[in-house]
Amino acid sequence: MATVYQDYFFDEPAYNTHDGGYIPLEVADAPAQPLAIPALVQPDSETDTDAYYTLTAQKGETQLLPGAKTKTWGYNAPLLGTTFAFKVGKHIHITLKNELDELTTFHWHGLAVSGPYVDGGCHAPVYPGESKQIDFTLDQPAATTWLHAHPCPSTAEQVWHGLAAMVIVHDDHELNLPIPHDYGVDDIPLVLQDRRFHEDNQWDYHADYDPDGVQGPTAMINGTINPYFDVTRQKIRFRILDGANRREWRLHFSDDLEFTQIASDSSLLPEPVQLTHLMLTCAERAEIIVDFKGYKPGDTVTLYSDDVPIVTFKIHEFAADDRVLPDHLLEIHAPKVLPTTPVRKVVMSGMDEAVALDGKKFNMQRIDATQPIGLAQYWDVSNTNTMHGGMVHPFHVHGTQFLVISRNGGAPYPNEHGYKDTVGVNPGETVRILVRFDLPGVYMYHCHIIEHEDGGMMAQIQSYDPNRPMPKYKLMDMGTLTKAFAEERGVDPKTMWMAGMDSYMKMGMKM
């Protein structure tokens, strides 16, 4: 009989519930609403080999609570975004359009695309009224990835405005597995976020700012407050994204209903894992299958984070589903590390404005490390926070999928054996990951508590072809970025407030 894991794995003293600035979730005083399911983006045109899309960052208004609509941002939508579904091997062409009043970037979190421009970090600004073209062909396992803004040091504020959307990668292997595939019916995205509502139901990022991460008391799932979902299939596949700036989600169902995790960030798991509890740190994803066979029409099942209900599932008639999940889902081929390859040491340190990576704050013009493409290397990622008073730092690397090798020399968590791009690191812990870049470029690696990356817990690595001259990339600089934001906002650069800049200034530093 398979083991059923009953705990969250992470170190309890480091849960965000112990933060001095922790904001617990509360059930909003609002009527229940159907869970919003983002529409799938349809190509502008498509051939057997190529697909063409338009992606627009735009402003909008969204009815989230009774009363005034909330001013929001989104991708091809007023809030969050429509869902992209890409097929491995297809050549994707995307027109990026910015209809906001300030510059933004389009970061493909989890996609193996070239950096720094296609990847969409801070070096790929799209200015208001501007369009840019990118293209790529994916060669990676099927996965649930996502898209979000990444204009340092205003990433956190733009994501808080709503610039986040799900991106699904399909391959033939995943599509042929006996698992749910009917998007919106039995294959359901769940984007988990939280917000605080101010006067007239508006968001105020500046008022809510906390250098250790902005939180709000109201859970927002796919941009829905107090959502419910009508269950019309026995087995449902949920693609869960922690899309919050700071909040960890500790998930469990009523009745301690067991569920099966089949995938993490960047691939299927090698074997399915049975759970009753699942914790996600910022930017992590998990695909789970829930079997509702023990329920009858009229029953309800509730998904909780800690002890707060966040989604209600209303059970309707469904036909029996006798599909059996295979014991083995994906073959993992770990690249071989040469004994002569040194281990890269990465250290996340500090709290509040003092956050740093390898003892330094991020500088857009500085390359902090290099790694040849195709070379597999162990990275030892450490969190120097203490267990009591410290926090779990979710560590993310752009442009690659890594394997979690060990935690403090011991085994990874049972649901960490697939490919990942984000891993939570407990205080006092060193997590060894196996990293290989297959495409040349400049990529960021950072804590994904978004206020921490804006505040400087971020660095850059350049991957390169050792058989060719090292290319030079045009990298954004803080002066150009600050001037652009100031002009777009109609303020003096000397008095303009951006959260990340605030963190640097309070430490007596320049970006």
Distance CA 23, CA 247 (A): 9
Q: Which amino acid is at 294?
A: G
Whole-number pLDDT of residue 511: 67
Distance CA 478, CA 153 (A): 9
Whole-number pLDDT of residue 401: 96
Note the pTM of the prediction, 2 decimals. 0.97
Alpha carbon separation from 157 to 37, 154, 209, 245, 368 (Å, rounded): 24, 5, 9, 9, 26
Distance CA 19, CA 27 (A): 21
Q: Which residues of the chain are under the pLDDT cut of 50?
A: none
What domains can be seen in the chain, in order of their start residue?
4-28+182-315 (2.60.40.420), 33-175 (2.60.40.420), 344-464 (2.60.40.420)
Whole-number pLDDT of residue 228: 98
What is the CA angle 319-325-327, rounded to 5? 160
- 429-459 as b/e: b if 16+ CB within 10 A: bbbbbbbbbebbbbbbbbbbbbbbbbbbbbb
Whole-number pLDDT of residue 504: 85
CB atoms within 10 A of CB 334: 11
Distance CA 118, CA 108 (A): 8
Distance CA 285, CA 423 (A): 10
